[in-house]
């Protein structure tokens, strides 16, 4: 009986039935795309610490050492870049949570890198652990969450605030 009523619905309201089929198809495509983002997927980003990356320059402190906000951006960049190849056209990811521990200072002139690992995938929400290093060793670690969004829709909603 359910099969017959669905067929009758499609005959009576063909546009609505086609829309339902399209939504179902898009959900299937979404599942296929997100299945590619798997636990264990890794990413990285790196930079040379320069004067403008210091706590004194960005306003997060008084010292000429690598700023925590810059390390946060480096960590988010590693996570963002790791999943970017798996997103559908028109999609991007946005950071929604970052629990960060900056455990060692880094001087100007030293290379820093962040390494991310996907630890959970829950629909459009991706969770990472991220560790940052300078040439002497670990300088911080974090748990980070990103959500996959439609870039155009996200920007429209954001700029509708103006």
Residues annotated as part of the active site:
68, 76, 102
CB 55 within 8 A of CB 61: yes
Structure tokens at 34: 């997100």
Query: CB of 134 within 8 A of CB of 110?
Result: yes
- Would you give the distance in Å from CA 155 to the centre of its chain? 16
Beta bridge partners of 150: 91
Instruction: Say how far apart CA 121 and CA 156 lie, in whole Å.
Output: 26
Quote the tokens at residue 86.
């798996």
DSSP-assigned states of every residue in 41-92:
-EEEEEEE--GGGBHHHHTS-SSSBB-HHHHHHHHHHHHHHHHGGGSPTTEE
């Amino acid at each position: 009986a359910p099969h017959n009523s669905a067929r009758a619905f499609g005959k009576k309201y063909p546009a609505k039935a086609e829309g339902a089929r399209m939504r179902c198809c898009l959900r299937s495509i979404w599942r296929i795309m997100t299945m590619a983002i798997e636990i264990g997927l890794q990413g990285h980003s790196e930079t040379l610490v320069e004067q403008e990356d210091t706590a004194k320059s960005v306003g997060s402190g008084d010292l000429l050492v690598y700023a925590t906000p810059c390390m946060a951006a480096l960590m988010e960049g590693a996570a963002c870049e790791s999943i970017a190849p798996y997103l559908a056209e028109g999609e991007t990811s946005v950071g929604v949570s970052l629990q960060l521990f900056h455990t060692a200072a880094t001087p100007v002139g030293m290379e820093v890198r962040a390494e991310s690992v996907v630890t959970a995938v829950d629909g459009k929400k991706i969770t990472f652990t991220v560790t940052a290093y300078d040439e002497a060793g670990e300088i911080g670690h974090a748990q980070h969450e990103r959500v996959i969004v439609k870039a155009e829709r996200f920007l429209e909603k954001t700029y509708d605030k103006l």
